[in-house]
Amino acid sequence: MRPGRKDIVVWLSHIEGISNRNIERLINYFCNIEEIWYAGKKHIIKALGHRNTIVDKIIKNRNQQSIVEIFKNLNSNNILPLTIYDPLYPHKLKNIYDPPYVIYIKGSKIDFDVPLISIVGTRRATPYGRWAARQFAKELAKWNVGIISGLALGIDTCSHIGALEGNGYTIGVLGCGLDQYYPASNRSLTDKIFENGCIISEYRSGTPPLKHHFPARNRIVSGLSDGVVVIEAPERSGALITVDFALDQGKDVYALPGNINNMQSKGTNKLIRDGARILLEVDDIIENLKYKYPMCKIDMEQSARDDLSESEMQVFNVIKRNPVNIDLIINETGIKAAELNSILTILEIKGYINQMPGKIFTVVK
């Protein structure tokens, strides 16, 4: 059987030591990448440049057997490879400089056409940063915005957690193969992301998390997104590399202001000075996304229906119509004061209603 170009690219990315740049060179050299299957060694050497050790490995592995094995492995691990030739390949990513020729995806929900925002920041986050990352991720999730981040410690972890808390969609981009958990402490978080979103990597299974993978990963993080939010970053930070990519790719950059004396906010404050959008509330982001997507908040009623018991729903429906005083709720629903008070507390804690002076209740806007 003659392998197609998608198979060839996947196979190439499994050659040990090959880089995205190498693949690019090969694709550019051969008009048709399928030709590499039959090409002589001298052409491959010419394509990659002299004295390249990868050449031997390519020739050694150039057989049907290895391709079958690769796909068998991917299948058994539930990993979906997407090459640049696939119609499913995210077009946002296609349009960046140096797009990965293949990305590996694992997860239950794979969708790149929804609004996506990446939230990045330092690993040594302050409590303020952690809170903000989580809060914004959660609020964005309520607007059906997916959250992309790098699954690193600190801000990345908090953004994923926030998105999951808001029952939202989230994508983690790894700097190593999908067969390992990195960092190991995020094992349970990674498993949860598998359930509510997906994990992406441009590296084949078994690739260790090497230092230079991470800046490269950041171009995917920003490339997939419609805007990059920097929560906290010291003056020299990986997050700022992501910002550079985002600017090259023409994405919006939002920076969260922080204390000017705080090391972890120096980078973000400077970004604001240099013209990044200042992030004060989630609407700052939503306003811009509205130009590209029809934005609408998850219907509270919808989530309420799933979340509330019958009597809670009954009370919620009364409050929803109008801000209303507790005595009128009693009058309307016929629920006893004792029980009603307890229902109101639960609704308040679940975040559906607010209490105002005079024991008047309203739904949370």
Binding site for other proteins (CB under 8 A): 323, 325-328, 330-331, 334, 336-346, 348-349, 351, 355-360
108/331 with CB nearer other proteins: 331
**Among candidate residues 186, 322, 342, the one with its CA nearest the CA of residue 332:** 322
317/341 with CB nearer other proteins: 341
Measured on CA atoms in the order 328, 333, 334, 339, is the torsion positive or negative?
A: negative
24/332 with CB nearer other proteins: 332
CB of 305 to other proteins, least distance (A): 21
273/321 with CB nearer other proteins: 321
CB of 355 to other proteins, least distance (A): 5
- State the DSSP H helix or E strand holding residue 228, giving kind and residue range, or none if neither: strand 227-230
CB of 345 to other proteins, least distance (A): 4
CB of 324 to other proteins, least distance (A): 10
DSSP-derived pairing of the beta strands 252-255 and 277-278? parallel
Q: What's the count of helices (H) and strands (E) in the chain, helices before strands?
A: 17, 12
Distances (CA, A) of 233 to 160, 161, 192: 18, 19, 26
CB of 178 to other proteins, least distance (A): 36
**Among candidate residues 300, 134, 305, 117, the one with its CA nearest the CA of residue 223:** 117
CB of 216 to other proteins, least distance (A): 40
User: How far apart, in whole angstroms, are the C-alpha atoms of residue 148 and residue 165?
Assistant: 15
28/345 with CB nearer other proteins: 345
Contact criterion met (CB below 8 Å) for 288 and 281: no
Counting other chains too, the contacts that 68-75 makes at CB distance below 8 Å and 24 or more residues apart are 70/10, 70/11, 70/14, 71/7, 71/10, 73/205, 74/10, 74/104, 74/205
CB of 4 to other proteins, least distance (A): 55
**Among candidate residues 84, 147, 88, the one with its CA nearest the CA of residue 121:** 147
User: How far apart, in whole angstroms, are the C-alpha atoms of residue 233 and residue 298?
Assistant: 31
The DSSP annotation for 96-120 comes to SSS--SEEEEEES---SSS-EEEEE
180/355 with CB nearer other proteins: 355
User: How far apart, in whole angstroms, are the C-alpha atoms of residue 342 and residue 246?
Assistant: 49
263/328 with CB nearer other proteins: 328
127/358 with CB nearer other proteins: 358
CB of 19 to other proteins, least distance (A): 48
Contacts of 161 (CB under 8 A, 6+ apart): 134, 137, 189
CB of 125 to other proteins, least distance (A): 20
283/327 with CB nearer other proteins: 327
Q: How many residues does the chain have?
A: 365
